[in-house]
Each structure stands twice: as structure tokens, then as C-alpha cells.
């Protein structure tokens, strides 16, 4: 499997003087193209920091992150923005939508900025994605007129507009009830099936069950990895997968 992300000994610290501590302490992680990876760990272990480092959203103090063949630490702000727009998609815990824009406008915003597609193509693509996500009826609604689960789906549609190579998720189901969370995970699994790499941070075992590989991070270091293999809803015994993951996590001290 080709590697889409290769990170080597990344260190990231916060704080000043004696208070300074390494949140990431020499982490090396490779992620294959088309892989579905979940990052788990206790609060404050550095999960989200790792996600931001791998996506170039945050700089690292030392070490390197190579994304799709480009060393992110060597890219300027504008080049990083281009990579983000053309090759990455982000889904956060809270739906990060702009209140000024309606649902459809939020979805198409990055593509309009990108300017590669025509207005017609952009609108058609957005409507197709919204239909797939089951939110086509929200098109003209304001952000304040949709539920949390619906807004998270809007965020996923927006993330998919640029046909990203990787979708990064930072606890994308963290603020949702279990039904909505399940629906969002199904949607991400669908996206993964189309060949998109998915990397997400979660503390929810049910969410991580659908990942091919689960990384456990503890005190800024990768403490272990759990290879679960590609998830297939039709054949796999979900409960067994979840049980195996839970057992492993318990061994890791989670």
C-alpha cells in the first residue's frame, strides 16, 4: 500500500519555561493511501495534537510530516492552504459552519474559492453529495435551522467537495447522540469505501470499530497499534470486532 502520510519523530511542545512539556514526543506514524485509521487515547494524551500535526494544521517543533510526497514543514502558508483545499477535508467535533451562509453555500464555499469547477458543476456536485448524506432538503436553510447531526453531515459534504485524498476527523461524533453518531460513522465508512483515506481521533470504541487500524497514544507517544483489517458491514461481526478492540484497549490501560 502506498503511503499517503509519512511522519518521522515529530515533537510538539506547549507551555513556556519549566512548564513546557512535549505533547508529542517523537511520534513516527505512516498512513497508507485508502486506509481508515483511528487514533485513541486518554484525555490530554496528544490525540488531537497528532491529528493537527499530520494534517499540517499545526507546525511541529522537530521531525517531519510528508503528505502525498510533500514535506509539510517546508511549505509556506499559502502552499499549505492549497494542500488543505485540494487534498484534505476536515470534520471537527462541533460543526464549523459559517453562520452567515445557508447550508448549500457552506458546502460549496471551498470549491468556489478553488475555482477549478464551473458554478453549475459546483452546485450539481454539492447537491449530489447532500443527497448521498440525506440532507438535500436543508439546501436553503440557515445554519441555525438544522440539528447537530444534520450540521455534521453538512460539514462532511463540505469536506468532500474537493475530492480530498484524506478526511481528518477530530471527534466528529463527540457532540452527537448515539443514533446520529452511528449515521455519521456510516457516512464516513461509505466515504472510505470510495478510496478516500480517513484518519480520525475518537474516544468512542464503537466509532473506532470501523477503522482498519487503531493507534493508541499515551503521554505523547504511540503506545501500540491494533490491526483490525478492513471493515465490511455485510460480512463482519461488528460485536466481535468491537470486543477485540475493547480487550486490546484494556490491555493498553484505556
Partner 1 sequence: MGMLYRLIRNDVLRSTAVTLTTMLFVAAAALLVALAATLVVNLAGAIDTMMTRAKTPHFMQMHAGHLDRERLAAFADGNDAVADFQVLEFLNLDGSQFVFAGGSLAASVQDNGLSVQSERFDFLLDLDGNVIAPSDGHIYVPITYMQDGTARVGDTVRVAGTPLTIAGPLRDSQMQPLLSSSKRFLVSRDDFADIEPFGSMEYLIEFRLHDLAALGAFQAAYVAAGLEANGPTLTYPLFRLINGLSDGLMIAVILLISVLVIAIAFLCIRFTLQAKIEDDYREIGVMKSIGMRVGDIKRIYLAKYAFVAAVGCALGYALSFSLQEPLLANIRLYMGESDSASWAPFLGLLGVATVFLAITAFVYLALGRFHRIPAAEAIRFGVSQEAPSGGRRVRLSTNQRLGANAFLGLKDVLVRRKLFATMLIVLVLTAFIIIMPRSLHHTISSKSFITYMGVGETDLRFDVQQTDRIADRTAEIAAALEGDDAVSAFVVLTTKAFEARSSDGSEVRIVVELGDHSVFPLTYASGRAPTGDHDIALSALSAGDLGTGVGDVLQVMVGGQARDLTVSGIYSDVTNGGKTAKATFTDDGAATMWSVVGVELTDASLASAKAAQYGARFDFAKVSAMDDFVAQTYGPTLRAVGTASYAAVGISLVISALITLLFMRMLIAKDRYAIAVLKSLGFTASDIKTQYLVRSVFVLALGVVLGTLLANTLGESLAGAVIGAFGASSFAFVVDPLEAYLIAPALMALSVLLATVFGTLDAGTIRVSESIRE
Is residue 19 at the binding interface for partner 1, with CB under 8 A as the rule? no
Residue 90 Cβ vs partner 1, minimum distance, rounded to whole Å: 5
Interface with partner 1 by CB under 8 A: which range of 75-83, 188-196, 207-215, 226-234?
Answer: 75-83
Does position 239 interact with partner 1 (CB under 8 A)? The reply is no
- Sites for partner 1 among residues 29-48 (CB under 8 A): 48
Give the residue, chosen from 84, 153, 192, 241, that forms a contact with partner 1 under the rule CB under 8 A: 84
162 lies in the binding site for partner 1 (CB under 8 A):
yes
Count of helices and strands (H, E) across the chain: 8, 11
CB 147, CB 103: distance < 8 Å: no
List the one residue out of 81, 47, 79, 51 whose CA is nearest residue 65. Answer: 51
Q: What angle do CA 110, 111, 112 make, to 5 degrees?
A: 90
Is the CB of residue 195 less than 8 Å from the CB of residue 214? no
Residue 125 or 226 having the CB closest to partner 1: 125
- The verdict on 160 binding partner 1 (CB under 8 A) reads no
> Which residues are within 8 A (CB) of 204 and not within 5 positions of it... i.e. 6 or more apart?
173, 174, 181
214: DSSP letter:
E
b/e map 104-131, b = 16+ CB within 10 Å = bbbbbbbbeeeeebeeeebbebbbebbe
Q: Which span sits near partner 1 by CB under 8 A: 105-113, 189-197, 227-235, 243-251?
A: 105-113
**Residue 187 Cβ vs partner 1, minimum distance, rounded to whole Å:** 19
For residues 58 and 72, what is the distance between their CA atoms, to the nearest angstrom? Answer: 10
Which of residues 24, 36, 41, 52 is near partner 1 by CB under 8 A? 52
- Does 88 participate in binding partner 1 (rule CB under 8 A)? yes
Sheet holding 213-218, edge to edge: 88-91, 166-170, 197-201, 36-40, 213-218, 221-227
x/- mask, partner 1, residues 194-233, rule CB under 8 A, reads ----------------------------------------
Q: Among residues 165, 193, 223, which one has the least CA distance to residue 24?
A: 223
Q: How many residues does the chain have?
A: 254
| Piece in contact with partner 1 (CB under 8 A), picked from 26-34, 61-69, 78-86, 226-234 | 78-86
Residue 153 sits in the site that holds partner 1 (CB under 8 A)? no
| Residues found near partner 1 in the complex (CB under 8 A) | 48-49, 52, 57-58, 77-78, 81-86, 88, 90, 92, 96-102, 104-105, 108-110, 112-115, 119, 122-123, 126, 142, 144, 158, 162
Amino acid at each position: 500500500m502506498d503511503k499517503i502520510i509519512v511522519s518521522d519523530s515529530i515533537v510538539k511542545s506547549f507551555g513556556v519555561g519549566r512548564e513546557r512539556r512535549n505533547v508529542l514526543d517523537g511520534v513516527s506514524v505512516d498512513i497508507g493511501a485508502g486506509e481508515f485509521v483511528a487514533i485513541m487515547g486518554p484525555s490530554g494524551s496528544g490525540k488531537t495534537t497528532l491529528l493537527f500535526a499530520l494534517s499540517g494544521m499545526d507546525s511541529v517543533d522537530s521531525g517531519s510530516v510528508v503528505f502525498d510526497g510533500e514535506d509539510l514543514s517546508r511549505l509556506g502558508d499559502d502552499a499549505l492552504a492549497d494542500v488543505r483545499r485540494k487534498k484534505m477535508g476536515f470534520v471537527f467535533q462541533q460543526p464549523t459552519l459559517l453562520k452567515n451562509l445557508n447550508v448549500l453555500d457552506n458546502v460549496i464555499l471551498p470549491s468556489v474559492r478553488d475555482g477549478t469547477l464551473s458554478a453549475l458543476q459546483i452546485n450539481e456536485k454539492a447537491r449530489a453529495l447532500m443527497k448521498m448524506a440525506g440532507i438535500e432538503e436543508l439546501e436553503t436553510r440557515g445554519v441555525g435551522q438544522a440539528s447537530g447531526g444534520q450540521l455534521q453531515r453538512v460539514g462532511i459534504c463540505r469536506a468532500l467537495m474537493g475530492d480530498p485524498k484524506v478526511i481528518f476527523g477530530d471527534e466528529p461524533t463527540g457532540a452527537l447522540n448515539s443514533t446520529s453518531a452511528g449515521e455519521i460513522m456510516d457516512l464516513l465508512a461509505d466515504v472510505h469505501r470510495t478510496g478516500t483515506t480517513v484518519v480520525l481521533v475518537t474516544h468512542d470504541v464503537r466509532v473506532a470499530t470501523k477503522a482498519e487500524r487503531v493507534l493508541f497514544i499515551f503521554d505523547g507517544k504511540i503506545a501500540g497499534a491494533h490491526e483490525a483489517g478492513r471493515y465490511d458491514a455485510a460480512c463482519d461481526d461488528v460485536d466481535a470486532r468491537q470486543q477485540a478492540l475493547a480487550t486490546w484497549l484494556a490491555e493498553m490501560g484505556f
